[in-house]
Structure 1
Amino acid sequence: MPPATSPHGYALKPSEARALQNAEVVFWVGEALTPDLGRKIGSIAGDSRVVTLGEAPGTGHLPSREAAVFGAQEAPHGHHDHEDHDDHGHAEEEHAHEEDAHAGHAHGPDDPHLWLSPDNAAAWLDHIATVLAETDPENAETYAANAEAARATLESTVAQARETLAPHHEDRYIVFHDAYQYLEASFELQVVGAIQVSAATPPSPGRLAELREAAAEAGVTCIFAEPQFDPRLVATVSQGTELPVAELDPLGATLTTGAGFYPELISELAGRIADCAAD
Structure 2
Amino acid sequence: MHRIPLTLPLLALPLAAQAEAPHVVTDLPAVHSLVSQVMGELGAPELLLGAGASAHSYQLRPSQARSLQSADLVFWIGPEMTPWLERTLNSLGEGATQVALIDREGTTLREFAEEEDEHHEEDEHDHGTIDPHAWLDPTNAQHWLGVIAGALSQQDPENRPTYEVNAQKAAAAIAALDAQLTADLAMAQDTPFIVFHDAYGYFTSHFGLQNAGSVALGDAAAPGVARISALRQTLEDSGAACAFPEAQHDPKQMELLIEGTSVRLGGALDPSGSSLEPGPALYGQLLEKMSETLIACLSAR
TM-score category by the smaller chain? 0.7 to 0.9
2:241 aligned with 1:221, yes or no? yes
**Which amino acid is 1:278 matched to?**
S
Partners of 1:234 and 1:60 in 2: how far apart?
A: 30
Match of 1:41 among 81, 89, 103: 89
Partners of 1:6 and 1:114 in 2: how far apart?
A: 17
Spell out the pairing of 1:216-255 with structure 2 (5 A cutoff): 216-245=236-265, 246-255=267-276
**Which amino acid is 1:16 matched to?**
Q
Pairwise CA distance, 1:67 = 2.2
SS in 1 for 2:56: helix
Spell out the pairing of 1:9-28 with structure 2 (5 A cutoff): 9-28=57-76
Pairwise CA distance, 1:254 = 2.4
Pairwise CA distance, 1:104 = 1.9
SS in 1 for 2:115: coil
Unpaired segments of 5 or more residues in structure 1? 74-99
Is the contact between residue 247 and residue 275 of structure 2 (CA under 8 Å) also seen in structure 1?
A: no
Q: Deviations over 1:223-261 (max 9, x none)?
A: 110121121111121111232222111012222221111
TM-score by length of 2: 0.79
Is the contact between residue 20 and residue 45 of structure 1 (CA under 8 Å) also seen in structure 2?
A: yes
The aligned residue for residue 287 of structure 2 is 266
**Which amino acid is 2:55 matched to?**
P
Q: Deviations over 1:19-49 (max 9, x none)?
A: 2122110011010100111110110111100
Partners of 2:257 and 2:283 in 1: how far apart?
A: 31
Q: Deviations over 1:52-90 (max 9, x none)?
A: 10111210111112527xxxx9xxxxxxxxxxxxxxxxx
Segment of structure 1 superposing worse, 34-43 or 1-10: 1-10
2:204 aligned with 1:184, yes or no? yes
Pairwise CA distance, 1:9 = 2.6
The aligned residue for residue 104 of structure 1 is 124
The aligned residue for residue 157 of structure 1 is 177
Partners of 2:128 and 2:212 in 1: how far apart?
A: 21
Partners of 1:135 and 1:123 in 2: how far apart?
A: 19
Higher relative contact order, structure no. (Cα contacts within 8 Å, ≥ 6 residues apart) = 2
Is the contact between residue 9 and residue 35 of structure 1 (CA under 8 Å) also seen in structure 2?
A: no
The aligned residue for residue 103 of structure 2 is 55
**Which amino acid is 1:55 matched to?**
D
Is the contact between residue 187 and residue 299 of structure 2 (CA under 8 Å) also seen in structure 1?
A: no
Partners of 1:141 and 1:125 in 2: how far apart?
A: 14
Partners of 2:75 and 2:215 in 1: how far apart?
A: 30
The aligned residue for residue 193 of structure 1 is 213
Pairwise CA distance, 1:114 = 0.8
Unpaired segments of 5 or more residues in structure 2? 1-48
Pairwise CA distance, 1:12 = 1.4
Pairwise CA distance, 1:133 = 0.7
Spell out the pairing of 1:112-151 with structure 2 (5 A cutoff): 112-151=132-171
Q: Deviations over 1:116-150 (max 9, x none)?
A: 11111111010000000111111111101110110
The aligned residue for residue 82 of structure 1 is none
SS in 1 for 2:129: coil
Partners of 2:197 and 2:53 in 1: how far apart?
A: 15
Query: How many pairs were matched up?
Result: 249
User: Once superposed, what is the RMSD of the aligned Cα atoms?
Assistant: 1.9
Pairwise CA distance, 1:14 = 1.6
Q: Which segments of structure 1 move beyond 6 Å, counting only runs of 4 or more?
A: none
SS in 1 for 2:75: strand
Segment of structure 1 superposing worse, 246-255 or 153-162: 246-255
